[in-house]
Structure formats: structure tokens, C-alpha cells
Amino acid sequence: MIKRRILRALKQNSELSTFHIDVKVNEDKVVFLNGEVDNWNQVVKIGHIAGKRRGVNGVVNDIRIKGQKIHKKDKTLLIKKGKEIGIVDESDVVIIGGGVIGCGIARELSKYKLKINLIEKQEDVSEGASKANNGMIHPGNAVYPGTLKAKLNVKGNAMYSDWARELGFGFKRTGSIILAYDKEQKKIMNLAYLAGKLNGVPNMKKLNGNEIMKMEPTIEKKPLVGLYTPTTAYVDGYDVTIALAENASMNGVKFHLGTEVVDVITSNGKVKGVITDKGIFKAKYIINCAGIYADEISEMAGDRFFTLHPRRGCIIIFDKNKTGVSRSTGIVNTSNRNKQSKGGGPQQTVEGNALWGPSATEIPNKEDKGVTREEFEYAFNSGKRVNPNITKGDVITYFSGVRAPDYKEDFIIGMSKKVDGFINVAAIQSPGLASAPAIAQMVENIILENSSSIEKNLNYNPIRKPPIEFRKLPLEKQDELIRKNPMYGHIVCRCETVTEAEIVNAIHSPIPATTIDAIKRRTRSSMGRCQGGFCGPKIVNILARELGKDVTEITLKGSNSYIINSKSR
Amino acid sequence: MDIKKYTCIVCPMSCDIVLKAEKGKIIDVSGFTCKRGENFARNEYINPLRTLTTVIKLENSHYNCLPVISDGSIPKDLIGKSLALLKKISVKAPVTKDDLIVEDLLSTGVNIIAAKSVKERG
Amino acid sequence: MKIINTDLAIIGGGPAGLAAALEGKKQGIKNILILERNDELGGILQQCIHDGFGLQRFKYQMSGPQYAQMFIDEIEKSDIHVKLNTMVLDINENKAIHAVNSTDGVIEINSKTIILAMGCRERTKNQVFIWGTRPSGVMTAGSLQRYMNIEGLLPGKKAVILGSGDIGLIMARRMTWEGIDVEGVYEVMSNPGGLTRNIVQCLNDYNIPLHLSTTVIEIHGNHRLKGVTVAKVDNKMNPINGTERYIECDLLALSVGLIPENELSKKANVKLSNITKGPELNESMMTSIPGIFACGNVSAVFDLADYVSETGELAARGAAKYIRNEINKESPIEIVPGKNAALVLPQKINIDNLGEQVKLYLRTRKIIEKAVVNVSLHGNLVHSQKFRIVRPPEMVITNFPSDKLKKFQNRGKLTVEIVREGD
């Protein structure tokens, strides 16, 4: 039935009907697609056609582009290496992935007497989509009612104030506005209102043009109407992730950075552990929070029922000197946008920089994080329409993040039906960041329901104190700090006023910063106008000194991203 | 006849000088505005000279390097050898500007001197 | 909190600030304090180990550190106060300076006069919109210079340089001398940005090609730089399809312009010029805030350190006059860049404030041979000066006796134009 409906839909599509696509549906109602098409957008379109059919529980999309060879990383050598090293630890839980989802779950589970190992491939937490998003804690009116993501979005949004209070990350709950300039846009705005109502978004208000201008005086043109949603909030994704990780670590979770899971060990339909390039970690539960690689991890466990298709988004950050809207203020109906995305627009970071975007482009390669001119222009125009006073001359930086959607475009959270103990927390695209507290709670419940008795961790402390930010302190406090620790008197990053002491603190923090980017995320150094031109050489020296390494070993972001090739003499 | 065009590097005027030579002998130089320019063009034809600036390994200081400069011009084709030689030596702080670092570099009659003063570590 | 009262506080101890300090002393200013964020004086000169400095001022070509040492030696002999490793964080509306260092803690400096001499920062890769990824191995030429000349470190093995300004050209030679393979220098404009003699002794000497009207459009490599894509550009500086070329390299050095570093000036509410990106100055180098002066690269991008030091001296003389209450705060004459003049410094004049000479610093929009600089007040030609050739990368300086202006009314527009002889 499902197969017939998919084939019919393909035949009705003039672009896709010329291709021979092999469709198989198994007893679990998972669709397997095979065949060849001309370009990547067609691969995605077909995947979506399958994913949208009622009753489909997952889409595995193996359709290829004619003539293109898929480059799959060969992990056999790493698996061999891991096996040779042997068992390095045994725990109750292994969490794969140190993004906001993995770290949120780690913290939640650290409330219990569970031994937990979190394994992260990169040299720091938050190196994936968690650091490359716009930091918006969505309210839940831009997401389809009835989906899991809608439910968790609204729930998670409400939980963020507690998270912020306990974890000490930067947080602003200033709401958001959707603008409508004509009747057509007003209709779509009303749809968002309706979706919000269905999803349980509280306190939405329809405002007239004058009321909107009062709230956001920098908007260039007065709109016809606007929808104001007060529950929208703003964070820095990496800031939340680091705070979660530090608190989890303080509560006993062990973090293994720079460690890549290359295989999952199962036996008799039950999970046994994971093989990494640094050895074997045995565990009773494996929680798959591997972001864009979650489909590969699930496949390693022997449960392949979904494929993730990377969707890249470009974000632009502007100089603090130019003030735009203080909250997300997007215009409805950007006609050239990817229908799966919310459209992007202008907003302001917690720090006060204008942030525009994101764009949304389907890409075939998970590793391709480059920014293209087209994606930049899309993100730029999404903000220019509202704040033309901010120009390209005010750009400080732009970057890309890669989302991890599946073809049903919803979250996949649950215990594997095939492998007991293997929990998928996959396909977490936007509103993933907003949903994170609710996702953590959902996974906590899965574990609790699945186990007989788990004792509470009596030493659990939910409070994590944020690091000292010298630049925010009054002069007297700054003076006091310097007397206690003279390294506070040495300003290393002059654009953001970051002291040597803060950088040293970051290096020795619970989740140690060992790369330039890791220090950037914890201190703001290199985030300013000169983008690390002044502080870069200083930070390289500080890292080498504090880590007892040679300067030639210091990297920008791990792997082979060395700053220095060699000493000249 | 050999016609060479040189842009003088002696001062910011960067005069365009034309030098004519016959069988290796210079017969005419034109386009310069001063004597230094004329000499520069002549030297470029016979034996191009350049000022050498580089850094030398520095010890007993929290700085790693000492900038040095040649106190005259050396033949352009000796630059490679000179740099290799200077890469191998090191100097100990304290250093005073104009201190002699290498005397009579590669028999050119030109010295390499310290370009700045550096106190010793402490 | 430590509180210091002084007569002249100079922010920045580079070629501008150093010259200002010594001139201030000569002019009889008693208490002078230099605030320098680096661990030594000299500013950017300390990493400019190449020669080409001092020819105008000392009649002798020297390297940056040598030039700096000329001033440093004199300062060490004087009673000028110097605070190193000290970062100025703020100048508030009452002209109070707040600075920070490890030994004094937070310092408040109340000074009769302030000279801003903070220099420039470099334009970044993001400001020239290079697409692609963000790997290591991409840095500005100044950062590269710091690594190589101060730290003794080499950030790569094979380099591409974007930008043919002097810093880019100098680093082409420097990298070659240190064994880094420089594949080429790429310049988006149709003319080179730096001095011709640097093209000769940095590129031609080493057969390093200079590609004009070509720019870097994409960076490749997720962690480490793998290569760049370059492309030719049209006269609107847009990349031309089909001209793309991939170059394998592990180091991209950017020499794409300097930006006067006026964040502190903005904090002090100093009015900035849209043209120079520095403070609007009068003939005494005084900004819109009485008692605050500016000089050197923070006021406009200069090409020669010698001129930078000159402006430092002008600012110090202005500060001395101000302390003696001899400066008229009004600036009724506006200096306007006329034909072919991209910028003119200063931007305002009060005839009553002038000393013996009027000195104007200009940049031309285009190369003009047999050029004439014409200065007119209220449409009356007051001064003309001929130049064999003027080029955009080179600051043009003209000065004339201030008597030539004294017969005119102290108001209106002073226009400066650069034309070809006979036009």
C-alpha cells in the first residue's frame, strides 16, 4: 500500500517520473529507496515523497547521482586499532555525541547513580550544529502540529528559564515578531498563530503596525500587522552546551573528547558497547546523539531505518556598533526559501550583535561546511528587508552549520525495536536547541521505564557557576580581581576585552579548552572585529605554556588544524 | 646592444631608468633624478646589490629573535648563502643596537648589525 | 584604583606616539605619560624588520626596529613616563582614561590633553567576502609578520598572498627568505597597491608572479587549509565565470587593507570622518573634543612612518598650545578634497591657530604624471605645487606659508585638487 502510494506520487511528478526508482517497504513500514537520478535535489525530493506518506516509520534513501561514486570512510583500520587496545572502561551508559542534545542528556542522567561515559569525536563539545545555529529558542508556532518536534519544542521552551538559572548561560527571553506587509502575508502569519495555538504556545498577540514599530523602532517599514510571541528566547548554542557539559562533568559524567565511535557491539539483540579509535567502551545503554552521523551509528548497531540528509545554513554576524532589531523579527513568506526551513531573518545575539539568517540548502556531503555566495546573499537579504541600515560593511563574520534532518522531517527518539539498550536521539534539526530540555527529560524517562531500580545521585548539584567575565565587571571589581590574580590585568583580546586569566581558566575548566576555537567559545576571544588577528599569536603561546605543549602542536579546532608548521630557527 | 629597464629602489620616487650597454660595457644611463639612482642602475647591471634584513635566534631573553640588518648592500646572489649562515648562529642578550653580529659577511666588507637593543631576561 | 594626573597622555607608543612624546617634551609639557599595550615601545615597527624607514626624517634608510630605537633611546634618557603592558579600555565623556595592567590594576588617568595614536588594525578575510570554509592557515599579513619576526615561527610551507599592498609584498620576500614557497601575489585591482620599489625587490627579484585583476574567491579545507580558488574579476570587481583556478597551498596571507583603530575615539565621542575613517582634525591635530588630539595611522592610513612621526609632532605642538590656552576651538574653514583628491588631512582650519606653515596630507585617486596640487580658499588659488608623479599608495604632502591665507576671511571652504599640468 505504502509502496503503491509512493510510486504513484513519483509518477505524478513530471521531473521525477522519468527515473526508475526501486521502492521496498519492510514489515516495520520502513521504506528503502534505490536508483539513480541526475542531481541531489531530486534525491531529496524523492526521499521527502516517501517520508510524507502516512504510516511510514522511516526512510532509508540509497538513491545515488548518476556517475557519482559515494565516498564512504573506511573504518576497518580504526576498528582493528580499537579492538587491539581492548576494553578501556565499562559503564551503565555511553552517550555518543557531545552536542547540546548529548550533553543535556548527560546532565539529566547524572541525577542518578549511573556511570556515564560521553564520547565525542571532535576535540571539544559543541563542534557540530550546536555551535553553528542562530541560538533562537523557538516558541513552537513555526513547527507542524502533531509532530514530536512540536510537542518537545513547546515543552523545552518553557524549561529554558530553569536551565538558564541553574547553569548560568547567557539568556534573553524577549520574544519574537513575525511581520506581515500585505493580505497574503497576513494569511500566513495567521497560520503561524493557528499552529501556535494548536501546539500550546502561550500568550501570542496580534499587534498593529504602530505597536510593532514601538517594540522595534529600527524596522524600516511599518508593517500591516505582526504576531508577537513572548516566549521566544535567545542563547548561544555553544554556551548552553558547554554549561551542560561542565555541570554533567561536575556530577560525575566522564567526557572522552577526540574519540570516535567506529562500531557498535551487539549480541543477541542487545547492546554491549562501542568500539572507538581509543579502545572499547562497554555499556548497558547506548544513547545515539551523533548529530549528522546518527544514521551511520544506528546502522552500526544493526538498526538501519532512517537516512539523514544534510541541510546547510549560513549565518551572518555583524559589528555591535550597528543596532538592528532586538528580537527575531522576520517577514513572512520569503518565496525563495527552502520549504522545510523557517525562512530566517534578523535577530540579535545575547551579546548584542545583529545576527541574520539562516539559509537552508540541501547538500550531499555531510562534511561540506563552506559558505557559498548564494547562501550568504540569502541570509543577508533575510535581514536587509527589515534593517537596511545594517550593511555588508558591518559584517564581522559568516559561517555555516549543517542540520541533521531525516526524510520524515521529525525527531527520532526512542529505544531501538531491534537492539535492546540502543536509544536513538536522532534527526534533531531545528527546533532541536529549543527542545533540548524536553528531549533530555524524554530520554531520562525511557531509561527509567526500562530499568528496574535506579538510585538517585545524592551528590547531584544542578547549579553550575558561569566563568568570570572581566569585561562585564565594574571598575572596582576589576581592580580587586587584578590584585588577587595579576593575569586579569593582561588584556589578550582587545576587541572583546578578554584577559589572560579568563583564557587560563578556560584551559583548566571542567571540560578543558585545548584549541583556539574552544577558548573562543568560552571567553569570546577572536569573536570581535579583528577576528583573532591580535590575540591569535598570544593565545597560541598561552595554550602551549598551560598545556605543556610545543607551539607547533597547538590547533585551531583539533585534527590537523595546526597554527604553526615549524620553528624558523 | 643591451637595453635594460630598471625601477630604482633607492627612494620612493622609483625613477624608471634605462641603461644601454654594448658588449658588457655600459654606454648610457638615463631617467634617474639623482646620483644614487644612477649608481643603482649601474650596479643592477654589473652586480645587483641589496640590503639584507632578517632575524637571528636570541637567547637569554624572553624574546626569541633579534632583528638584524646589513650595514651596507651585499650582492643579490649572496643573499641565499647569507641567510643560511645567519640561520645557524645565535646571539645572547643583552644586545645594544648597532652591535656587530657578523663582521665582513662572506668577504663582502659588509657587516650584519643588531637593529635594536634588548635587555637580558630578568 | 590608581589615579594619575598628567599634562599629556599618549595612547600608543608607536612611531606617532613616540614622536609626539619627545616633541611634547621639547615644547615644555611637564608631565607626559605614554600608555602602550605591548611589552615594548615601537608599536608595529618592531615587527617591520625590513628597511625603508627613516629616509625622509633621518636621511638614512633603516629598518623598523632601528627607527623605533632612535626614539626609544631618547625617551629612556628623558623623564617621560611609560607604562608598558597597559591596555586603555575607555575614555569617558569627561576625558578620563581608564586603563588596566597587571601591576597597577585599574588606572584612571586625568590628563589636560590626550593624544590618540592607536594606529590601525587589518581588514579581515570576512570583510573581503572570500567564500568557503574556515580552516587554520588563513591569516592577515600582519599576524604572519608577527609570527615570523617576533616569535620566530613559520605558519606554513606554501603560501598564496592576497593583496599587493606593501605588507603583502614585504611578506612575499620575507616568506621566500625563510623557505616558504610563495606561489603568487593576487590583487583585485588593476594596479598594484604597494610601492614600485617593493614590487621590484620583493617580487621581481624572486620571480614571484603578480596577478592583477584577480582575487581569491574560495577557501578549501575543513581543518587545515588545503588550497584556494582564484578568479579574474571584471571592472566591477565581480569574478568572471570560467576563469577559476585552484591553487594548492597551506597558507593564505591577506594584505587587504588597514582600518584606523578608533574604538576608543568612539567611546570618547570624538567625531570621525567618513573619508579617512579617523577623527576629524584641525590644523593643530585637535579632534572635535577640545584637548583630545590624534596623529598617525589612527587619523588616516599613511604609507611612511616618517610622516606618521611628523603628525605626532604636530599633535604635540597642538597639545602644548592648548595647555597654554592658545588654541581657538572654533574651526570655521572646512577643507574639502577636490578633483582627484581621495582624502585631505586635516579637515578643518582656523587661520588664527596657524603657525608659520600650513601642512596638508593628501592621497590621489589615480596615478598622475606631471601633477599639480592646487589649494584654493573661497575659489582663490593660494598655493600650487608640482610633483613629478603622484600615485594612490603614496601620501602627497604639500605645505605653504600660512601668510598666504591670512589676507582672507576666516571662514568658508579650502579646496585641494590634484590635476595634470596643463589641465
The mean pLDDT of chain C is: 95
Contacts 24+ apart (CB under 8 A), A502-508: A502/A467, A502/A468, A502/A469, A502/A470, A503/A539, A503/A542, A504/A542, A504/A546, A505/A467, A505/A468, A506/A467, A507/A542, A507/A543, A507/A546, A507/A547, A508/A546
The runs of H, that is alpha helices, within A497-559 are: 500-507, 516-523, 536-547
Instruction: Answer yes or no: do B6 and B27 share one domain.
Output: yes
Give domain status of residue B12, yes or no. Answer: yes
pLDDT class of A342 with cuts at 50, 70, 90: confident
Task: State residue C56's pLDDT score.
Answer: 87
- Indicate the DSSP class of residue B6: E
Instruction: Answer yes or no: do B58 and B40 share one domain.
Output: no
Mean pLDDT of A120-142: 97
Name the class of domain A76-130+238-308+408-450. Answer: alpha beta
Instruction: Answer yes or no: do C65 and C169 share one domain.
Output: no
C177/B83 touch (CB, cutoff 8 Å), yes or no = yes
Shortest CA distance from A568: residue in chain B: B87
Instruction: Name the domain count of chain C.
Output: 3
| Residue linked to cell 573506511 | A74
Instruction: Name the domain count of chain B.
Output: 2
Give me the phi and psi of C229, to 5 degrees please: -110, 130
pLDDT at A338 over 80: no
Give me the phi and psi of C102, to 5 degrees please: -75, -25
Under 8 Å between Cβ of C135 and A399: no
Count of CB contacts below 8 A, A vs B? 9
Task: State residue A456's pLDDT score.
Answer: 96
pLDDT at B11 over 80: no
Instruction: Answer yes or no: do C281 and C316 share one domain.
Output: yes
Interchain CB contact of B93 with C (< 8 Å): no
Instruction: Answer yes or no: do C141 and C247 share one domain.
Output: yes
pLDDT at A343 over 90: no
A370/C132 touch (CB, cutoff 8 Å), yes or no = yes
Query: A402-452: per-residue pLDDT in tens?
Result: 999 999 999 999 999 999 999 999 999 999 999 999 999 999 999 999 998
Task: State residue A336's pLDDT score.
Answer: 60
Instruction: Answer yes or no: do B61 and B110 share one domain.
Output: yes
Under 8 Å between Cβ of A131 and A233: no
- Which of the other chains make 3 or more beta carbon contacts under 8 angstroms with chain A? B, C
Shortest CA distance from C2: residue in chain A: A479
Residue A248 to residue A243: CA distance in whole angstroms: 9
Taking the CA of residue B25 and the nearest CA in chain C, the distance in Å comes to 23
Q: What is the CA radius of gyration of chain B?
A: 18
Taking the CA of residue C235 and the nearest CA in chain A, the distance in Å comes to 19
Instruction: Answer yes or no: do C3 and C110 share one domain.
Output: yes
Residue A383 to residue A362: CA distance in whole angstroms: 21
Task: State residue A479's pLDDT score.
Answer: 97
Task: State residue A334's pLDDT score.
Answer: 58
Query: A138-180: per-residue pLDDT in tens?
Result: 999 999 999 999 999 999 999 999 999 999 999 999 999 999 9
Instruction: Answer yes or no: do C262 and C246 share one domain.
Output: no
Given C296, C327, C358, which residue is the final one in a domain?
Answer: C327
Among C389, C223, C33, smallest CA distance to A517 is for C223
pLDDT at C315 over 90: yes
**In CATH terms, is domain A176-230+309-403 a member of 3.30.420.10?**
no
Shortest CA distance from C259: residue in chain A: A530
pLDDT class of A119 with cuts at 50, 70, 90: very high
Residues spanned by CATH 3.30.1340.30 within chain A?
2-65
pLDDT class of B2 with cuts at 50, 70, 90: confident
The CATH number covering residue C178 comes to: 3.50.50.60
Interchain CB contact of B11 with C (< 8 Å): yes
Taking contacts as CB-CB distances below 8 angstroms, the residues of chain C near A394 are none
Taking the CA of residue A555 and the nearest CA in chain B, the distance in Å comes to 21
Interface test with A, best of C47, C124, C134, C144 (most A CBs within 10 A): C134
Instruction: Answer yes or no: do B42 and B58 share one domain.
Output: no
Instruction: Answer yes or no: do B15 and B66 share one domain.
Output: no
Mean pLDDT of C202-215: 97
Instruction: Answer yes or no: do B32 and B72 share one domain.
Output: no
**Is A138 annotated in the active site?**
yes
- Which of the other chains make 3 or more beta carbon contacts under 8 angstroms with chain B? A, C
Taking contacts as CB-CB distances below 8 angstroms, the residues of chain A near B65 are 569
Residue C370 to residue C364: CA distance in whole angstroms: 13
Give domain status of residue B60, yes or no. Answer: yes
Instruction: Answer yes or no: do B59 and B90 share one domain.
Output: yes
Interchain CB contact of A183 with C (< 8 Å): no
Taking contacts as CB-CB distances below 8 angstroms, the residues of chain B near A569 are 55-57, 64-65, 87, 90
Task: State residue C156's pLDDT score.
Answer: 97
B65/C55 touch (CB, cutoff 8 Å), yes or no = no
Distance of CA C211 to the CA centre of its chain: 25
Taking the CA of residue A568 and the nearest CA in chain B, the distance in Å comes to 8
Taking the CA of residue B55 and the nearest CA in chain C, the distance in Å comes to 7
Query: A344-355: per-residue pLDDT in tens?
Result: 899 999 999 999
Q: Taking an 8 Å Cβ-Cβ cutoff, which residues of chain B contact chain A? A: 55-57, 64-65, 87, 90
C197/B9 touch (CB, cutoff 8 Å), yes or no = yes
Residue C293 to residue C286: CA distance in whole angstroms: 4
Give domain status of residue B120, yes or no. Answer: no
Instruction: Answer yes or no: do B16 and B63 share one domain.
Output: no
Residue A491 to residue C18: CA distance in whole angstroms: 22
Among A307, A309, A294, smallest CA distance to A264 is for A294
Residue A404 to residue A309: CA distance in whole angstroms: 6
Distance of CA A461 to the CA centre of its chain: 25
Instruction: Answer yes or no: do B66 and B109 share one domain.
Output: yes
Instruction: Answer yes or no: do B59 and B110 share one domain.
Output: yes
Given C266, C298, C327, which residue is the final one in a domain?
Answer: C327
Up-side HSE of residue C27: CA atoms within 13 Å toward CB?
24
β-pairing, C138-140 with C251-254?
parallel
Give domain status of residue B121, yes or no. Answer: no
Strand, helix or coil for residue C361 = strand
Instruction: Answer yes or no: do C309 and C362 share one domain.
Output: no
Architecture of domain A2-65: 2-Layer Sandwich (3.30)
Catalytic one of A48, A138, A256, A309: A138
Count of CB contacts below 8 A, A vs C? 135
Full residue range of the structural domain in which residue B58 is found: 53-114
Q: Which member of A475, A556, A558 has the closest CB to residue C1?
A: A475
What percentage of residues in chain C have a pLDDT greater than 90? Answer: 89
Residues spanned by CATH 3.50.50.60 within chain A?
76-130+238-308+408-450
Q: Which member of B7, B33, B67 has the closest CB to residue C63?
A: B67
Instruction: Answer yes or no: do C252 and C265 share one domain.
Output: no
Q: Which member of C65, C199, C201 has the closest CB to residue B116?
A: C65
Full residue range of the structural domain in which residue C175 is found: 124-256
Shortest CA distance from B16: residue in chain C: C196
pLDDT at A466 over 80: yes
Taking the CA of residue A354 and the nearest CA in chain C, the distance in Å comes to 16
Interchain CB contact of A461 with C (< 8 Å): no
pLDDT at A557 over 90: yes
Query: A249-292: per-residue pLDDT in tens?
Result: 999 999 999 999 999 999 999 999 999 999 999 999 999 999 99
Shortest CA distance from B85: residue in chain A: A569
Given C203, C222, C256, which residue is the final one in a domain?
Answer: C256
Instruction: Answer yes or no: do C421 and C350 share one domain.
Output: yes
Instruction: Answer yes or no: do C145 and C267 share one domain.
Output: no
Range with lowest mean pLDDT among A28-42, B79-93, C388-402: C388-402
What the block records as the C-alpha cell of C61 is 634608510
Mean pLDDT of A234-243: 98
Taking the CA of residue B49 and the nearest CA in chain A, the distance in Å comes to 25
Name the class of domain A470-553. Answer: mainly alpha
Give domain status of residue B122, yes or no. Answer: no
Give domain status of residue B65, yes or no. Answer: yes
**Largest distance between two CA atoms of chain B:** 63
Give me the phi and psi of B41, to 5 degrees please: -60, -45
Task: State residue A187's pLDDT score.
Answer: 92
Which run of H or E residues covers position B26? strand B25-30
Range with lowest mean pLDDT among A309-323, C168-182, C313-327, C409-423: C409-423
Interchain CB contact of A569 with B (< 8 Å): yes
Q: Among residues 97-116 of chain B, which lie with CB inside 8 Å of chain C?
A: 97, 115-116
Q: Exposure string (b/e) for A192-201, b if CB count within 10 Å is 16 or more?
A: bbebbeebeb
Taking contacts as CB-CB distances below 8 angstroms, the residues of chain C near A479 are 1, 105-106
Under 8 Å between Cβ of A309 and A407: yes
Instruction: Answer yes or no: do C35 and C108 share one domain.
Output: yes
Query: C1-52: per-residue pLDDT in tens?
Result: 899 999 999 999 999 999 999 999 999 999 999 999 999 999 999 999 999 8
Instruction: Answer yes or no: do C293 and C347 share one domain.
Output: no
Query: A70-110: per-residue pLDDT in tens?
Result: 777 889 999 999 999 999 999 999 999 999 999 999 999 99
β-pairing, A64-65 with A30-37?
parallel
C87/A567 touch (CB, cutoff 8 Å), yes or no = no
Q: Taking an 8 Å Cβ-Cβ cutoff, which residues of chain C contact chain B? A: 42, 46, 49-51, 55, 61-66, 68-69, 72-73, 148-152, 177, 195-197, 199-201, 205, 304, 388-389, 394
In sign, the C-alpha dihedral spanning C66, C70, C72, C73 is: positive
Query: A193-230: per-residue pLDDT in tens?
Result: 999 999 999 999 999 999 999 999 999 999 999 999 99
For residue C346, is the peptide bond before it cis, meaning its omega torsion is within 30 degrees of 0?
yes
Among A41, A1, A38, smallest CA distance to A23 is for A1
Residues spanned by CATH 1.10.10 within chain A?
470-553
Q: What are the distances in angstroms from CA C13 to CA A450, C20, C65?
A: 68, 9, 13
Taking contacts as CB-CB distances below 8 angstroms, the residues of chain C near A396 are 126
Torsion angle, CA of C365/C370/C372/C373, rounded to 10 degrees? Answer: 40
- Indicate the DSSP class of residue B107: G
pLDDT at A232 over 70: yes
Instruction: Answer yes or no: do C47 and C61 share one domain.
Output: yes
